[in-house]
Structures are given as C-alpha cells and as structure tokens.
Structure 1
C-alpha cells in the first residue's frame, strides 16, 4: 500500500456545485481505464436501501467491527447499522448515483485516474496513473469521514515532482473556481 497527497481545492455546502467541480476536473483528466472507489458510513436504513440499489453487492461491515456483521459473513446489513462501506474498482457511472443515495451520511468517493495532463503554459508535466486521483468528501471535510460537516470538499491528488505539486493543485483549483487553502491530507491508496 502506498500513500498519496490530497489537497483540498473546493469546499461548499452545495453538493451540486461540488459535483460540477468534479465533472470539470474529470473533463481535464485522462480517464482511460479510470475507476471509482467508495468509502462511507451508512447510518440509516433508507440510505442503505438506496446505496444497495446502486451497488447491490456492496462490501460492508458493522461500524462496531466485522465480528458484529459483514457482507463477507453473509449478515443482513440492516441489522448491523451503522456500517462502513469500502468498495473498490467500480465503473465511473456508479459515482453520481452513489453520491445521490447518501443523504446526510458521510462518504469519500475517489476517482482513480489514468493521469493529469501536461499543461505547457503552466509548466506542468504529465502525471501518470500512480499519482492521479480526485476525491469528493461528502458530508465530511476529510477523506476518512472523521470530520463530519454539512459541506463537501473536493480534493485533488498530484505527485510532488520537481516541486510542481502546488502549481498543479492551484491550476486545477482555478479550473473549478476554488483555491488551494494549504489543507493537505495523506491518503492511503
């Protein structure tokens, strides 16, 4: 397992604004072979039902621990609430329905991209798949859903190569009307 550096570029109480920002950034990225990963804390039966409609075979376990129920154990998730969802390698078209299903429950949706493009006028080189990610924290300001909030944060991940990480983060933030605040998290991949 490796780590990435995730930089907050936009925080907003308007989920549709955050989703628009994600769409804009996805439009800039190389999406060949891209996929999306989900982490969430599901607290209500209604949200669970909506999430299972989007991801019928979602991987989960009780927030109290796997010994209290899990998808691996064949347990009924509605009997194990609240639960943690960790689901990886899904098609990109699952992301927005998953986000819409969340209600007020916290989640992180991470797009594993094929790369960030070179931007000659900004002096930025191409960043390959290993270092190119985009995460939307929903109802949380952090990647692990520890800092619950009523807003949503878009994070970009970019490799620090030759000191161009901050320049790339600022360039990406400018594309969505955000700004790099200096808030950075280490993100396990």
Structure 2
C-alpha cells in the first residue's frame, strides 16, 4: 500500500446511485486479487449488531480510545459506543452488505484494486496496485468521516507522479455520469 490522492468524482444523496457508480468503476479495473477495507464511526447498538452479522470478527476500538474498549480486549462494542471501525483486507463480497448495515452512520469503504487498467484510446496507461483504489464515503464527504453529510461520495485514487493525473479522474468521472470538480484529498494508506 502507498499514499495516493483521492478525487471526488460523484456525490449523490442516492446511495443506490453511488453503489451503481462503484460497480461500474470496478468493472473498469482489474480486481482479480482485490480486497476491501472498512473505516466507520458507529453510534448505534442496532448498527453494531447488523455490522457484526456481516463481519463477526470486526476490528474496532472505542472512539474515546482503546482503554475504553476494543475488539483486541474482547469487549462488547455495543457497551463502548461510539466506536471506530478499522477493518482491512476483507473479501470484495463483504462491501455491499457492510454498506447496507450502516444506516445513518458515516463510513469509508475502500476497494484495493490490482490496477486501473490502461485506456489507450484516452491516452491512459495502467496504474499499478500500489496506487489503484476506489473509495465510497457513506454519510460523509471525506475519507476520514470528519465531514458528516446526508450524501455519499465516490472517490477514485490515482498515482501522484509528476502531479495528480487529472485525465484519469476526468475519464473515470465520465464513465459514471459524474464530474471531477477538482476536489482531492490525500489518502494515507
């Protein structure tokens, strides 16, 4: 893993539209050995129960700090709310059930891709796994759940070599009916 820049290519209040965009982008990438990572702030015992149904061995810690509870200590997350979820390296098929379990809580779901495939007709070369990610922020505008929102944003990550590769962000946004507005943020992986 390596740091990248994440470009917001679609923001929508319609979660199903955001998921359709993610599926389209995944179809444009090589995901053969892909995996998915989850970060979230969970505030409700109902959401905790639904997420633990999807990820029974969920990795989490109390938002107030690990000394207030964590999965490492074997604590019950429902007794330690709010909690922060940092659960990485899951199979791709866990992403949509996790998203469905969230309710109003903010999260970032990041797909670690094998590569952004080359698009010769657009002049885009392949981008290796080291810099190929896709993130859906749910109920948050940013990657780190610091900017809660009632909408959802699809971010594409690309390599930061000789500056951000704007052509890739624009091309991917076009594929999902979005628009790259120039909003980027560093993704520390």
Smaller-chain TM-score bracket: over 0.9
Once residues 121 and 27 of structure 2 are traced to their aligned partners in structure 1, the CA distance between those partners, rounded to angstroms, is 18
Query: Which residues of 2 match residues 159-178 of structure 1 at below 5 A?
Result: 159-161=159-161, 165-178=165-178
Query: Which residues of 2 match residues 24-63 of structure 1 at below 5 A?
Result: 24-63=24-63
- Whether the 8 Å CA contact 1:124–1:164 is kept in 2: the answer is no
- Whether the 8 Å CA contact 2:63–2:81 is kept in 1: the answer is yes
Query: Which residues of 2 match residues 18-29 of structure 1 at below 5 A?
Result: 18-29=18-29
Provide the residue aligned with 1:155 in structure 2.
155
> Structure 2: where are the runs of 5+ without partners?
none
- Whether the 8 Å CA contact 1:14–1:152 is kept in 2: the answer is yes
Displaced runs of 4 or more, over 2 A? 160-164
- Whether the 8 Å CA contact 1:140–1:151 is kept in 2: the answer is yes
Provide the residue aligned with 1:142 in structure 2.
142
Provide the residue aligned with 1:69 in structure 2.
69
> Structure 1: where are the runs of 5+ without partners?
none
TM-score (norm 1): 0.98
Once residues 29 and 66 of structure 2 are traced to their aligned partners in structure 1, the CA distance between those partners, rounded to angstroms, is 36
Once residues 58 and 126 of structure 1 are traced to their aligned partners in structure 2, the CA distance between those partners, rounded to angstroms, is 33
- Whether the 8 Å CA contact 1:68–1:80 is kept in 2: the answer is yes
